[in-house]
Each structure stands twice: as C-alpha cells, then as structure tokens.
A and B are shown apart, each in its own frame.
Chain A
C-alpha cells in the first residue's frame, strides 16, 4: 500500500513545486541506515537545526531511493541523502537536482543465508538474491558482480533470481528461507552476520576495491538558487557531522543508535554497529571517476542508455582533489 501512496505522491507534484526564495523550512530526506550516518548524527546532535538558524528543519524518513526521488520530483524535498544511482538517474532525466557532497563510501556487503550452501560468488548460480530495490545502487553493483563471475540475472536470461526486498525485511526473508543471499547496505549486513549468516563479499570485494560512493547529498536546484545561504549552512553542518563520525567513532555509535532507535524502534547491538562502521567510510568529497564508473554500470545493467556528463550535475567544489 505504501507503493500506491508514493505513486500518489508523484501525482501530487502537479500541484506543488519546490520552495523558492526565502524558504522558512528545509525539508530533508534520508534513510535510517548506517550509510546515512551523517544525517543521523546531524539530526541527533542538532547540527542541522543550529546551522539553519531561524529556518525550520523538517526531516523526512524514507525506506528507498525510489520513494525519496518521487517526493523529490514532486518538489517536497529540498535536500536529501540518497544513493548515487537514484541521484544520477534523476539528474539524467532532467530532475532539478545537483549533487553537492559525498556522505559515505563502501558500506555494502554480500551476505548469504547460513544454510544456503553459498560459500563464494560462484555459488550464487541458481540462487535467489535480494537487493533493496530494482535499479538501486546495490542492484547495479550486484549485476556487475554477477557478470564478472560469468553469471546473469534471470530477467536477462541467466539463472540468478534478483528480487527486491527492503533491507529491514531481509531478516524475515532469511528466516523464512525466501531468499538465499542479499547485497545490503550497513548496518543490515552486520546484523545478518550477527544472526549467524555468512559474509560472502565484504565492502571491498563487492565492487571497485571499496572505492565507491554509497550515499551522496543532493539539493533541489530551485531551492538552492533561492536559498544559497541555507544550502551553505547545511553543508557546513554536514561536514561537521562527517568530522564527528571520523573523530569520535565510539561516541558516534551511541548517537547513531539513539537516532536509529527513535526512527525504527529497534536498537542495534553496539558491537554489531561497530563492525558495520568499520566497513563504511564517511567523507564529504566525491570521486568523479567512481561516479562515472557507476553510471557506466547503470548502462551495462540496462537501466540507462548512455553515461551522462556528470560534471553538469555536481557542485564543482564537492569533488575530491
């Protein structure tokens, strides 16, 4: 039913538009994942609200890049933490968005169900593998990984069944034996591992030696044009959150856990969270080569027909030197 609702959200765009000059609220989209940790820290520590001053922060939680981008297209989100996949697809199709910063890198792992008999990538042949959603960042890298192993998804004439299951539901899907493996963002990988499931691929072997963005920050270009000071202030707070994560990982874990509990009602074991955090890097910089490679994989997977000129969508100062 939530899918139905998000389709309606897209329809609502006919009536609403992005906020122009002098916005009094900043609507922030994000997911309750460790790969969105700068958002979680910025919210829990109050960095964002402090930086925005009199403008009110309106945080909105999403479960997938798809529903977030629909809200973004409908002009209901001003700034968002999202995977590079939805960001690139949206920008390439003409959505008014700009990628303004990096947030996290790596942080996605391939976990197989304990009793699935899968011990290496090769064993994925004939199995069912879950990704957060079709066409998302993990789906794209899974398809590339399969290709490297000489395997193919069922939809492309191979024998690996790639199916969409939201990360939080993968725990239940594993328990019921409905899927055999999953490529998930953290902390879900570490949570599954703690439940006795097996890690087949770590964040480095999944793709590009772990050198790839998992979450980026995007802004609505109309909002940015009307409120440059707010965007600058937000980015400063984002940088503070990233710095906090890198300087005080132990304290940050408690902060993240508090925010995750607030959002999802679930507490993650701190040791599990620590393991997940080791596999995730936090940065404000963007790696243009990795983003270009990513856009090429998007074409390889058949989700786009050409690699767009990414420089046109990226705030120049956001790129890593």
Chain B
C-alpha cells in the first residue's frame, strides 16, 4: 500500500474559483441595493421615517465617517471606542478562557461542575446581564467590558477544554514515551494538536463578544460608541442613522470573522484537516 500525496487543486484554478465567488457576492450586493432603492425611492412603500432610502443612509455614513461639520465624525469616534473596548475585552476573555479551559481539561471535577454551568450561562443572552453589570459596576465602560468578557470567555474555555480532551490518545502516549510530563506534555504536545479546534472557539468567542458589546453599549451609552449611535438615531427619529450604524456593525463583525476564518482555514490546511474536493 502506498500513501498518495494530498490532492490539491492547482493554485490557478483555486484563484479563478475565488474570483468567480467574489463576482457573485458583488452581484448579490448590487441586486440588494437595487431592491432597496426600488422599495424606498421608486415605489415609496414606506415613509422615510420608517425605512429611509439608500441615499439617506449613505449621507449619514459619510457625515459620520468623514464629514467636516462641527459634530461630524461621530460614527468614526464610535467605531474607535467600540473596537478598543471589544479588543480589550476579547484579549482578557482569551487569556481567562484559555486558563479556565486548561484547568477544566486537567481536572475532571472542575470540568463536570463549572463546565456544565458555563454551558448554561452561555445560553443566556448577553443583554440579560447588562442590568446586573450596571448595578455592580455603574453606568460606565467597566459594565460593558464585563459583559463582553463574560460572553467571550465561555466559548474559549469550552473550546480549549474540549479540544484538549479530544486529542487522540495515541499522541498523548507518544508524548509520554518521548519523556514529556505534566505541563510539558500539555504545552508541547496537547496544545499544538488542539490548535484547529481552539481556533474555532476563538471565532465563536469573537462573534459573541462583538454582539455583547453592541448590546451593552446600547444600554450604557455614556461615551461615543456604535451602541450610542443606535440609541441617538432612535431617539431623534433618525432611522437613516440607525441603518447606517447597523451596516457598520455588520461590516466590522463580518470583516473580523472573515479574518479569523481565513486563519482557521490556513491552520486546518497546514494540519492536513482539509479534504480536497
């Protein structure tokens, strides 16, 4: 029996396929915009204070991002603050989740108690924790960060402990045979082989953290933030601003997800987990 080398499509073909996909995605976007324009500007199915036209939303985006008026640039300031918050919260969540996940994988009683509770907490929508966070920390950034960290660390802890538990026993035995013990076995053998599963956890944690952030900011709107922009749009009957903010939240969330997805795909390929089609 001979081992055949992994099958891979030639790079040129792959690039062409990706190009075609991008074209379709672009076409979909154009169609969606056309439909939106048709419903609002041409057919006028809804009054503008309910469903504004694409042009009105674009105006809000341009004012909010690069406008030169005295109060312009608020969306940009909001993006800056929100990104800073989510990155800090996410970093803490990754550290905390990593440590908790490691401990859970190493110690069965912890896994069976804390692990079960974490799964329960994860099923609670993040916005449900905001009133508690406000009472505990006050109407400030810490309350928002608390919710982001809480939401972000759970998927990471569960992914890390799950990934470590699922390392094939053969690898563990091989590591021991070669003399790895305790922490050395964990960092040298188990963790590297768990990387693909952990990356999936990191991506889930990102989307949880991002959603928790916007939810928290909506209720704790003290400084410029995407959540505060949503609230201001709502309070001033400015639906165009609300939609503009939603688009920005979706774009940023999607971009980071794509980035993590690309990283995940790359790692899975390097680990030989991708089966060529």
- Which A positions have Cβ atoms within 8 angstroms of B? 3, 7, 10, 13-14, 65-66, 69-70, 73, 86, 89-90, 93-96, 128, 133-136, 154-157, 161-165, 173, 176-179, 300-305
B218 close to A89 (CB less than 8 A): no
B237 touches A95 (CB 8 A): yes
Could you tell me if B48 and A94 are in contact, using CB atoms closer than 8 angstroms? yes
Residue B151 interfacial (CB < 8 Å): no
Please name the residue on chain B nearest to A178 by beta carbon: B138
CB pair B237 A89 closer than 8 Å: yes
* Complex contacts, B239 vs chain A, CB 8 Å: 93
B114 located at the interface, meaning its Cβ lies under 8 Å from any Cβ of chain A in the complex: no
User: Is B139's beta carbon under 8 Å from chain A?
Assistant: yes
Total B residues in contact with A, Cβ cutoff 8 Å: 33
Q: Contact: B235 with A155, CB < 8 Å?
A: no
Determine if B221 and A135 form an interchain contact, defined as CB atoms under 8 angstroms apart: no
In-complex Cβ contact of B139 among A73, A156, A179, A300 (8 A): A179
Q: Tell me whether B46 and A163 are in contact (CB under 8 A).
A: no
Q: Evaluate contact between B139 and A89: CB separation under 8 angstroms.
A: no
Across the interface, do A303 and B222 meet the contact criterion of CB distance under 8 Å?
no
CA distance A155 to B71 in the complex (A): 10
Residue among A86, A90, A133, A303 with max Cβ neighbours from chain B (10 Å): A303
A304 to B240, CA, bound (A): 12
Most buried by A among B49, B218, B221, B231: B49
| A-B contacts, 29 listed (Cβ < 8 Å) | A3-B218, A13-B50, A66-B235, A70-B234, A90-B49, A90-B237, A95-B49, A96-B47, A128-B222, A133-B235, A134-B228, A135-B235, A136-B235, A154-B222, A154-B224, A155-B77, A156-B71, A157-B77, A161-B140, A161-B222, A162-B222, A164-B231, A165-B139, A173-B139, A300-B71, A301-B71, A302-B69, A302-B72, A305-B69
- Give residues 70-118 of B contacting A (CB, 8 Å): 70-72, 74, 77
B223 interface residue (CB < 8 Å to A): yes
Contact of A303 with B50 in the complex, beta carbons under 8 Å: no
Whether A73 touches B237, Cβ cut-off 8 Å, given contacts A95-B49, A301-B71, is yes
User: What would 4 more interface pairs be, CB under 8 Å, given A69-B237, A90-B237, A94-B47?
Assistant: A14-B50, A95-B237, A133-B235, A155-B228
